[in-house]
Amino acid sequence: MSIKILIPTPLRPYAGKRSIIEVTAQTVGEALSDLVAQHPDLRRHLFSEDGKLRSFVNVYLNDEDIRYLSKDATPVNETDIVSIAPSVAGGI
Amino acid sequence: MALTIPVTLYEQLRQHGETTYPHECCGVLVGEFDEAGGKVVRKLMKCGNTRTDSPANRYHISPAELVRIQREALLAGHDIVGFYHSHPDHPARWSVTDLAEAHWTGCSYVITSVEKGHTVLTNSFLLLDQEEAKHFEDEALEIIEK
C-alpha cells in the first residue's frame, strides 16, 4: 500500500527537495527501504555503516516511536504517516 | 540571509527563558523558507525541556512533540525553520554541546542569555554543512512589526 513519509528540512537536499514522499510498503522497514531506493543519497544520512538508524534520527509511525513498537517490522496502514525527525538538544 | 521574526513572537521567545529560569527553555520556530534562503517565523511552539536530570545546563525537545509539530506544520504548508533555547547565566553564544547535538542543517538555532532571571541578549546561529563537517555561522535576526 501507499503511505506518506515526512522528510525533515536537513534531509530535503537528498530527497529531491520534497517534504512529503509517497512510498509503497507493508512495514516501516519496507517504507524506509523504498524511500532510499527512490532517493539513494538519503541512505548515509539515515543509516550508519552497520545499517542501523543513526543514533540521532527518530522515526515515528504517527505518534509512536518505532523503537517502542516492532521497529522495522512494525506494520503500516494506508492512512499512516511515517515521520523522520533528527533530535533537538544542547546545553551550556 | 536572515531569520525574520515578528516582534510579538520575538518577545514571547525571550520571555520563555525568564519563565523557566534558572532552567533552560526550548521551542520550535515554524514558518517558511524564502527563495533567497532566508526564513520567516510564523509560529512559536513552546516545548517542555525533557532534560529534567540537568535542566539548568541542558535542553532536549521530546521527539514525540517535535514529530507532532513537524507533521502539523508540513500538512499545513509550513515548515520547521529553527529552534530556540535559553542559556541561564551564560552568554548567548552556541556551546560545544549545542553544536554536537545540532542536526538540523539549514535551520536557525536561536539562543537567549538570561542573567539572574532577566533576559539579556538573543542571537541566531545558522547550522551549515553535513553532519561530519557541521558548523554554526552567525545569522542576522530581523525583527518586524507583524
Distance CA A17, CA A92 (A): 33
CA dihedral B71, B76, B81, B85 (to 10 degrees): -60
Q: Taking the domains of chain B in order of start, what are their residue ranges?
A: 2-144
The nearest alpha carbon in chain A to B90 belongs to A92
Given the residues B11, B18, B24, B115, the one annotated as active site: B24
CA–CA–CA angle B37, B42, B44 (5° rounding): 115
* B23: closest CA of chain A, how far (Å): 11
B24 is catalytic: yes
Chain B residues with CB within 8 Å of chain A CB:
24, 26, 28, 51, 54, 57-61, 63-64, 66-68, 70-71, 74, 79-81, 83, 85, 87-88, 90, 94-95, 97-98, 100-107, 109, 130-131
The interface pTM score, or ipTM, of the predicted complex is 0.96
- Nearest CB partner across the interface for B71, out of A56, A83, A92: A83
Pairing relationship of beta strands B2-6 and B39-47 according to DSSP bridges: parallel
Interface contact B66-A88, CB threshold 8 A: yes
Q: Is the pLDDT of residue B20 over 90?
A: yes
* A22: closest CA of chain B, how far (Å): 14
User: 3-class SS at A9?
Assistant: helix
| Residue A32: domain span | 2-86
Residue A66 sits in a domain whose CATH number is 3.10.20.30
**Average pLDDT of the residues of chain B:** 97
Omega of the bond leading into B22 within 30 degrees of 0 (cis): yes
Q: Return left, alpha or beta for B19; rule: phi > 0 is left, psi -120 to 50 is alpha, else beta.
A: alpha
Q: How many Cβ atoms sit within 10 Å of the Cβ of residue B96? A: 10
Q: Is the pLDDT of residue A17 over 80?
A: yes
Q: Which of the four pLDDT bands, split at 50, 70 and 90, describes residue B146?
A: confident
What is the pLDDT at residue B53?
93
The total number of structural domains in chain A stands at 1
Distance CA B131, CA B88 (A): 27
In three-state form (DSSP H/G/I as H, E/B as E, the rest C), the secondary structure along B54-121 is: CCCCEEECCHHHHHHHHHHHHHCCCEEEEEEEEEECCCCCCCHHHHHCCCCCCCEEEEEEEECCEEEE
Distance CA A72, CA B135 (A): 32
Interface contact B71-A6, CB threshold 8 A: yes
Tell me whether residue A68 is in a domain: yes
Q: Looking at domain B2-144, does it have CATH number 3.40.140.10?
A: yes
Global pTM? 0.97
pLDDT, tens digit (0-9, with 9 covering 90-100), for A33-59: 999 999 999 999 999 999 999 999 999
